[in-house]
């Protein structure tokens, strides 16, 4: 197995008495996209900041390219923060020129872009201030900036939020090409649609890893009870009274982590059909996280 590009071993971070990241093990190797999934406050951003060396660990160790995080290691990382990391009052061309100056010396000679140019998909926006760009284009520019120095490791924090499905697919094409060329990537996301793009997922809850694997491995055999009824509202109210929370999906109700028989019992007397279907990743996620968060 090739050496991991980034590795966390028992990483812990405390803020005062609050433990935000609690004994996390994580590794990403060349050609891998690891998705970090977690509720708000699960510790995703703190973990990313420790990986970047922006925040010291309270316990455990972080290694980047086999060594502790350093400025030199950061040169080999492409980072797209949630806020994109572009200067809003500079144009696309100016932003790219600035980041090239910052990374001067480490920009790979094989980079397809001439030193002063703007790559083709962005060329028509070259002279436009970032604040005036449509979000999809701004994200594209942030990706371009983060990838220009041919990084070996990508750290992407919610890279496609607010982008339409086709635009998102295009951004994932870029991630996919970079990874196919031998880089590794760590991606945080809330969008379950995006989880399928990752080669492996790590689910965090309250700072701990609660599940790890492919989407299929994480969902496993989890089932969801599905209620079909001409009057879903009545079924919803009945379930609510029984303390069971159902999720509306079109005209059907889905009840994660409940057996069809239990749900049918709660709905006795109503004209409903209750079946079971494999859980979605999102539904499995509720179970994983709810088990972890007290109350």
Residue 141, classified by CB atoms within 10 Å of its CB into exposed (0-12), middle (13-18) or buried (19+), is buried
Measured from the CB of residue 269, what is the shortest distance to another protein in angstroms?
18
Measured from the CB of residue 282, what is the shortest distance to another protein in angstroms?
5
**How far is 66 from 68, CA to CA, in rounded Å?**
7
Measured from the CB of residue 147, what is the shortest distance to another protein in angstroms?
16
Of 67 and 123, which CB lies nearer to another protein in the complex structure? Answer: 123
Do 76 and 57 meet the contact criterion of CB atoms below 8 Å apart?
A: no
Measured from the CB of residue 251, what is the shortest distance to another protein in angstroms?
6
Of 24 and 163, which CB lies nearer to another protein in the complex structure? Answer: 163
Measured from the CB of residue 115, what is the shortest distance to another protein in angstroms?
19
SS3 content of the chain, % helix, strand, coil (to 5): 35, 30, 40
Q: Quick one: tokens of 268?
A: 């006795």
Residue 146 CB: number of other CB atoms within 10 A? 23
**How far is 11 from 254, CA to CA, in rounded Å?**
37
The angle formed by the CA atoms of residues 175, 181 and 186, to the nearest 5 degrees, is 40
CA 103 to chain centre: 26
Of 38 and 69, which CB lies nearer to another protein in the complex structure? Answer: 38
Phi/psi-derived region of residue 4, left when phi > 0, alpha when psi is between -120 and 50, beta in every other case = beta
- Give, for 210, the enclosing helix (H) or strand (E): strand 208-213
Of 85 and 136, which CB lies nearer to another protein in the complex structure? Answer: 136
Measured from the CB of residue 19, what is the shortest distance to another protein in angstroms?
17
Would you tell me which residues interact with another protein (CB under 8 A)? 38-42, 120-121, 123-124, 134-136, 158, 161-167, 169-170, 172-173, 176, 190-193, 196-199, 232-233, 236-237, 240, 245-251, 282, 285-286, 289-290, 293, 295
Of 123 and 265, which CB lies nearer to another protein in the complex structure? Answer: 123
Of 170 and 228, which CB lies nearer to another protein in the complex structure? Answer: 170
């Amino acid at each position: 197995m090739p050496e991991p590009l980034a590795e966390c071993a028992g990483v812990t971070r405390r803020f005062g008495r609050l433990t935000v990241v609690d004994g996390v093990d994580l590794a990403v190797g060349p050609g891998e996209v690891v998705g970090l999934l977690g509720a708000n406050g699960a510790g995703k951003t703190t973990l990313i900041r420790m990986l970047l060396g922006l925040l010291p660990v309270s316990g455990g160790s972080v290694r980047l390219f086999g060594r502790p995080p350093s400025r030199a290691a950061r040169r080999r990382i492409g980072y797209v923060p949630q806020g994109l990391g572009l200067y809003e009052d500079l144009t696309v061309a100016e932003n790219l020129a600035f980041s090239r100056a910052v990374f001067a010396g480490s920009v790979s000679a094989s980079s397809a872009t001439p030193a002063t140019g703007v790559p083709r998909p962005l060329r028509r926006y070259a002279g436009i201030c970032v604040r005036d760009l449509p979000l999809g284009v701004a994200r594209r520019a942030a990706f371009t900036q983060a990838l220009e120095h041919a990084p070996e490791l990508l750290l992407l924090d919610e890279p496609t939020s607010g982008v339409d499905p086709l635009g998102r697919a295009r951004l994932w094409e870029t991630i996919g090409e970079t990874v196919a060329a031998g880089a590794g990537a760590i991606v945080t996301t809330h969008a379950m649609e995006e989880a399928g793009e990752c080669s492996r997922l790590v689910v965090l809850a309250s700072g701990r890893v609660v599940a790890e694997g492919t989407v299929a491995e994480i969902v496993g055999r989890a089932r969801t009870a599905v209620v079909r009824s001409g009057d879903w509202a009545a079924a919803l109210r009945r379930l609510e009274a029984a303390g069971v929370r159902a999720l509306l999906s079109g005209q059907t109700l889905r009840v994660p982590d409940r057996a069809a028989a239990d749900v049918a019992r709660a709905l006795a007397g109503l004209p409903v059909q209750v079946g079971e279907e494999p859980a979605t990743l999102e539904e499995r996620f509720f179970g994983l996280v709810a088990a972890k968060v007290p109350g």
